[in-house]
Structure 1
Amino acid sequence: MFRTIDRRMLGAAAVAALMLHAAPGFAADEGKPKSLTILAGPTGSSFYATAAGVAAILGDEGVRANAEMGGGTSNVVGVSRGTGELGLTMSIVPSVAAAGKPPFQEPITNVRGIASFTSMLAHIAVAGDSGVQSIGDLAGKRFASQPVGQATALIFDDLLAATGTDASKIDIVRGGLSFQTDQIKDHHSVGMVSVANYPASFFTELASTSDIRFLTIDDALAAKLQELNPGYARAEIPAGTYPGQDAAIPTVGTSMMMIASDEMPEDEAYWLTKTLIEKFKRLQGAHAALARLEPADMAAMPGITIHPGALRAYQEAGVLAK
């Protein structure tokens, strides 16, 4: 037996259906941001490759995401001020920012951790005929660092402080990776510094075309660096990583991490982190250094408070205790 449905009943049913669809836990896209800008690093760097990989994953999920050039310290400022919703930095940077120490002009305490990706190691390359055996030997010579605002510049400053080397005695020139490598190739500088994943393509190319070697950071110097900033970790570049590099290079490392503002909605940070956890196999392909990345590694973010939304995603994934 058929019966006529009253229009008012139909309208009420439609409203109820819409409310059900919008209710928490029912909307498949709940918390999904419409667009995201990811502040990364110089093109050709692992920062940029990682940010581009994240952007591609989010793009396939319907989010307009793009990677933009930036730096490990300037990205903290950018995220704090809303220039980008996400930014890549290193584990040594947030504590410096929170304290308002140089290069930061004031304390920055409104950034939170989303994910940790991989360890970044300090590479200090010098020309084979430079006569430079240690950081102290750079006095009176021309050396290529990166612009203020890059985490590499911060680490180089710490190296100078830890070795008691007067920066004013070094002719420090600053520029991006191409500028730095050209400085060595053209014999304009005795060396360069970069904090990078290994193998870093630009060091592979440089070692293939120029006579270079890498300075080591011994245990005593590493301990001094860790006193300056607990975000440093002991590390080494394995033997054979670069052409002509027959021995392991003792150095220090810091973790690459992605941050967001504390104003990012919890549901948005949750959706973002949950998506990256689910797609971490694809994230592994963004750069060679991410090949062994696991969700538990992503949740390890020393020196910064994890965003509540990201924390919930890691807890649900079983990689952090509730």
Structure 2
Amino acid sequence: MFRTIDRRMLGAAAVAALMLHAAPGFAADEGKPKSLTILAGPTGSSFYATAAGVAAILGDEGVRANAEMGGGTSNVVGVSRGTGELGLTMSIVPSVAAAGKPPFQEPITNVRGIASFTSMLAHIAVAGDSGVQSIGDLAGKRFASQPVGQATALIFDDLLAATGTDASKIDIVRGGLSFQTDQIKDHHSVGMVSVANYPASFFTELASTSDIRFLTIDDALAAKLQELNPGYARAAIPAGTYPGQDAAIPTVGTSMMMIASDEMPEDEAYWLTKTLIEKFKRLQGAHAALARLEPADMAAMPGITIHPGALRAYQEAGVLAK
């Protein structure tokens, strides 16, 4: 996570506080939904693993819950329109949706935050012999991004804007992770971008079989990105994360978060959030990136208004002030 404060003691205390100070007269099953669809990401991604983990927890509580494939930006649309009751996105996305900026066709202001799960960092990998040292050097070259609708594509657009790089000067190809890594392996593209937890298995495999290096995002560029969107946070990929990567890679990150419609009843959002707080140890096992997750981390949702029901659960757990 971005914070360096040890949350473990606070996490245990939060669960105890929630159990001791639950609202008087609130029955255990009050607000429990009958079924929930969670819009996630591609199978094999941390998005999908997290959604599946949440669905398993809710299923054990008697809720028919399932994870469905989606994308960081398309899930906001889906939750807004009622395609799914819950969706996973990134902290940079809601403010873009609220402003109606591309790829959104109109403002979306009816989604609320339920929980934040983990930090995902921008990885910009280029072939070792590409000669590319910065985003601006991509002009005149082929580069692999992800489909419009994925948060990675949004972040790459922000990188181009922040560096003053004209997208029309780059031969941008789009596809999933396998497509992107194959582009580098087969020397069809000079590089790729992905927002991922670290260590990302596909980058580990790519660095083991191909000569790649990662572009850095310096303080000045990070500040420009944060001006474009308050959902960015300063971050670094630690040294030794990937084969041949001997130094830390300064970059930016964004938080994976779960959202719901503002029409979700307050009691339902409260029950959902309360359940996840009480079961956060199980969430830690859903994906390696969630291993250090604590209730205080779940309550930290920049760039979005927290659902009133979720807010009440976090306040009762003692991780947010009343």
TM-score w.r.t. the length of structure 1 is 0.91
CA distance in 2, matches of 1:9, 1:263: 34
Q: Find the residue that maps to 2:189 and give its secondary structure.
A: coil
Q: 1:257-308: CA deviations, max 9, x gaps?
A: 1000001111111111011000101101111121111101100111111101
3-state DSSP class of the match of 1:240?
A: coil
How far residue 31 of structure 1 moved from its aligned partner, in angstroms, is 1.1
Shift of 1:205: 1.5
> By how many angstroms is 1:29 displaced?
1.6
Change over 3 Å in CA distance of 1:26–1:6 after alignment to 2: farther
Query: Secondary structure in 1 aligned to 2:21?
Result: helix
Is the Cα contact below 8 Å between 1:199 and 1:288 reproduced in 2?
no
The equivalent of 1:72 in structure 2 is 72
1:14 positional shift: 38
1:38–1:16 distance in 2 versus 1, CA, 3 Å? closer
**Separation in 2, partners of 1:287, 1:146:** 22
Aligned equivalents of 1:283, 1:7: Cα separation in 2: 15
Deviation string for 1:15-50 (max 9, x for gaps)? 999999999936432111111111111222211111
Q: 2:190 corresponds to which residue?
A: 190
Matched-pair contact (CA < 8 Å) for 1:21–1:27: no
Q: 1:243 to 1:106 in 2, by over 3 A?
A: same
Distance in structure 2 (CA, Å) of the matches to 1:7 and 1:253: 20
- The answer to whether the 8 A contact 1:146-1:152 is kept is yes
Inter-partner Cα distance in structure 2 for 1:117 and 1:303: 15
Please state how far the C-alpha of 1:9 moved relative to its aligned partner: 53
Taking only the aligned residue pairs, the percentage that are identical comes to: 100
| Gap change, CA 1:17 and 1:138, over 3 Å in 2 | closer
The change in CA–CA distance for 1:278 and 1:244 in structure 2 (over 3 A counts) is same
Cα gap change, 1:62 to 1:217, in 2 (>3 Å):
same
Separation of aligned partners in 2, 1:52 and 1:226: 31
CA contact (8 A) 2:21 2:316 kept: no
Query: What are the superposed Cα offsets for residues 62-97 of structure 1, whole Å, 9 maximum, x if unpaired?
Result: 111111111111110000000111011111111111
The verdict on how the C-alpha distance between 1:3 and 1:237 changes in structure 2, with shifts beyond 3 A counting, is closer
Q: Name the residue aligned to 1:100.
A: 100
Q: Cα gap change, 1:140/1:30 in structure 2, threshold over 3 Å: closer, same or farther?
A: same
Is the 1:42–1:177 contact (alpha carbons within 8 Å) kept by the matching residues of 2?
no
Count of residues paired in the alignment = 322
Mark the CA change 1:187 to 1:61 in structure 2 (over 3 Å): closer, same or farther: same
Match of 1:232 in 2: 232
Moved more, 180-189 or 142-151: 180-189
Asked if the contact 2:7/2:296 (under 8 Å) is kept, the reply is no
Q: How far did residue 178 of structure 1 move? A: 1.3
Is residue 37–residue 84 contact of structure 1 (8 Å, CA) maintained in 2? yes
Q: Per the alignment, do residues 170 and 314 of structure 1 end up closer, same or farther by CA in structure 2, a change over 3 Å counting?
A: same
* Map of 1:86 onto structure 2: 86
Q: CA RMSD in A?
A: 11.8
Task: Work out whether residues 95 and 304 of structure 1, in 8 Å CA contact, stay in contact via their aligned partners in 2.
Answer: yes
Relative contact order: is structure 1 or structure 2 higher (C-alpha 8 Å, sep ≥ 6)? 2
Runs of 4+ with >6 A deviation = 1-24
> How many angstroms apart in 1 are the aligned matches of 2:3 and 2:146?
77
Alignment of 1:160-309 (within 5 A): 160-309=160-309
- Asked if 2 retains the 8 angstrom alpha-carbon contact of 1:31 and 1:270, the reply is yes
Instruction: Please report how far the alpha carbon of residue 55 of structure 1 lies from its aligned counterpart in structure 2 after TM superposition.
Output: 1.1
Structure 2 counterpart of 1:7 = 7
Distance 1:311 1:129, change over 3 A: same
Equivalence for 1:32: 32
1:127 CA drift (Å) = 1.1
Contiguous gaps of at least 5 residues in structure 2:
none
Cα 1:277–1:185 change in 2 (3 A) is same
User: Offset at 1:2?
Assistant: 70
Could you tell me which runs of 5 or more consecutive residues in structure 1 were left unpaired when the two chains were aligned: none
Retained in 2: the 8 A contact 1:90–1:151?
yes
CA deviations over 1:116-142 (Å, ceiling 9, x no partner): 111111000111111111111111111
In 2, the alpha carbon distance for the partners of 1:185 and 1:124 equals 15
Call closer, same or farther: CA 1:74–1:20 in 2, change over 3 Å. closer
